[in-house]
Structure 1
Amino acid sequence: MLGRLKELLVGFALVPFLIQPVFAHTVWFEYKDGEYQLVFGHPEEGSEPYDPTKFRGVTAYDINKQLVPVKIDQQEDPVTIAPDGEFAALTAFLDNGFYVQKSEDNFEEVSQAEAQIYNPDYEVGHYVKSTKALYDWSEPLSQPFGLPLEIMPLQNPSGLTAGETLPIQVLYQGNLVKDVLVEYEGKTLALDENGIASVLVGEGGLQPIEASYASALNNDLAADTIEHATTLTANPVPEPSTLLGLSAFGLLTFLRKGKLKRKD
């Protein structure tokens, strides 16, 4: 009976996996209270609480794409980070776990062990979030960073003013994909025959760009599909006077929490 149920679910499960990325949560960086925070939710709607134990790491780069040490506070939501030196880009990952589809519109989060139990008879998806933030521009930073799903700006995104457009493409496992879902400020963007989407900058400047892509998994005991949701943000680093405040305030904040961690 359960085997037949999965067959029935597969028929309409493809539709939710095509539609769900529109509503999929994602992650991006925000600068707030002297810290860079990894937030979770929908950029056009704002951030939501999340489990910081799902955080899987952050990497900071300088203008030449060399690694910069990072101080991390993973004990509270949101995860906060402070690059220990001059930086020009950040990337981060969050594993949002496994969800079993028990009916057409009912998705329940389960552990990986539970996913393996459900998987023979139900559709199970694995949801991974990533983000890339550019705070400067150079030839090295214009190249891929190696994210599983990555939004690539085809020109310098910094300094764009209202009314200008930013052309972007999306890579999956390093290869251009044209059937990917791209969103900006809650709206789906069309891709041309070359897989290029044009992002129109509004009065508020360039906002986070989102992309989602679901891929089938073969011979995976826990999940049938893996869905990657990623974002691209491009903002200048705060002015030097603000950075001085960041250095003092951010360090005091981390020391007060007593939770300094270092990751190269």
Structure 2
Amino acid sequence: MFLAKIKTLLIAAAILPCFIQPASAHIVWLDYKNSEYNILFGHPEEGPEPYETSRLKQATVYDTNKQILPFNLNQKQDALSLTADKNVAAIQGFFDNGYFAGLSNDQYLRITEQEIPKYDNVGHYLKYTKAFYDWSDALAKPFNLPLEILPLQNPFAVTPGENLLVRVLSEGKPINDNVTVEYFGQVVAKNLDGTFSIPITQNGLEQPIEASYSLPSNGNLTISYETSLTAQNISVPEPSTLLGLGFVGLLVLYKKKLLLNK
């Protein structure tokens, strides 16, 4: 009996990763840390999840003139990161999360493209991301992605306590209907002019802005687009760097004291 229960649990554990709840809530975003641009997947308000790295299909790194820069793609455990030179001003990427069939009770089953006709409700989940580390007139223009969030002002220049205005675009054109924008896991109300207001704190844009949009395709297939926008001021030293500078400063003072006491 005990072995039978263990076998049942193992089978359930093997099947469980095939289900997600819900598939469309996951996004891809970038986070700069320890000199790496980490490519993350999941819910930003809950933290990143492991993912199949082969699902990243494209990444592009830009300088402030929107010229493409070379970069290295680094394999981590169930994740990827980018490293590039110090002139990085923006990065955009595309992540194909594959096909999912909608089942009962808000469960989704990962399927292959060939299995689409077997199900009534199938979604193809395409995820895009855009991250800014600097700002310029060239970067302020649309990147012409299938879905992107466009800041209408310099995200690094917005005064804390005020709002960053953004607009959602598809191939460079505004989308005003059936678009959902979220920040910190909460839906953001749309302004009368079709823009969205994102609150800025002393820490700037604290989490990725998310947007999603679905478009019916052939028969039972729906194309579901998700996108994210991050803006990180990497000119500010990271905490580990500040600690290192503090240690160096203390060491210098200690040496001066030794010299005075000689």
CA contact (8 A) 1:167 1:196 kept: yes
Partner Cα separation in structure 2 for residue 186 and residue 202 of structure 1: 17
1:208 counterpart residue number: 208
Is structure 2 residue 122 aligned with structure 1 residue 130? no
2:89 counterpart residue number: 88
Any idea what SS the aligned residue of 1:141 has?
coil
1:224 counterpart residue number: 221
Larger radius of gyration: 2
Letter matched to residue 170 of structure 1:
V
Any idea what SS the aligned residue of 1:142 has?
coil
Runs of 4+, deviation exceeding 3 Å: none
CA contact (8 A) 1:52 1:75 kept: no
1:233 counterpart residue number: 230
Any idea what SS the aligned residue of 2:103 has?
strand
Any idea what SS the aligned residue of 1:191 has?
coil
Cα drift, residue 32 of structure 1: 2.4
Letter matched to residue 92 of structure 2:
T
Letter matched to residue 41 of structure 1:
G
RMSD of aligned Cα (Å): 2.2
2:140 counterpart residue number: 142
Letter matched to residue 189 of structure 2:
A
1:55 counterpart residue number: 56
Distance 1:56 1:76, change over 3 A: farther
2:71 counterpart residue number: 70
Partner Cα separation in structure 2 for residue 56 and residue 211 of structure 1: 20
Structure 2: which 5+ residue stretches go unaligned? Answer: 1-20, 242-262
Partner Cα separation in structure 2 for residue 212 and residue 20 of structure 1: 13
Structure with more contact order per residue of length (Cα contacts < 8 Å, sep ≥ 6): 1
CA contact (8 A) 1:211 1:231 kept: yes
1:98 counterpart residue number: 99
Letter matched to residue 39 of structure 1:
L
CA contact (8 A) 1:52 1:76 kept: no
1:29 counterpart residue number: 30
Partner Cα separation in structure 1 for residue 154 and residue 115 of structure 2: 45
Partner Cα separation in structure 2 for residue 33 and residue 200 of structure 1: 27
Any idea what SS the aligned residue of 2:94 has?
strand
CA contact (8 A) 2:22 2:107 kept: no
Partner Cα separation in structure 1 for residue 76 and residue 87 of structure 2: 25
Partner Cα separation in structure 2 for residue 173 and residue 140 of structure 1: 17
Q: What do the CA deviations read for 1:29-66 (whole angstroms, capped 9, x no partner)?
A: 11223311100111111111111111112100011000
Cα drift, residue 173 of structure 1: 2.7
CA contact (8 A) 1:68 1:85 kept: no
Identity over the aligned pairs, expressed in percent?
43
Kindly tell me the number of residue pairs found equivalent between the two proteins.
Answer: 217
Partner Cα separation in structure 1 for residue 225 and residue 149 of structure 2: 12
2:110 counterpart residue number: 109
Partner Cα separation in structure 1 for residue 190 and residue 126 of structure 2: 23
Distance 1:38 1:68, change over 3 A: same
1:258 counterpart residue number: none
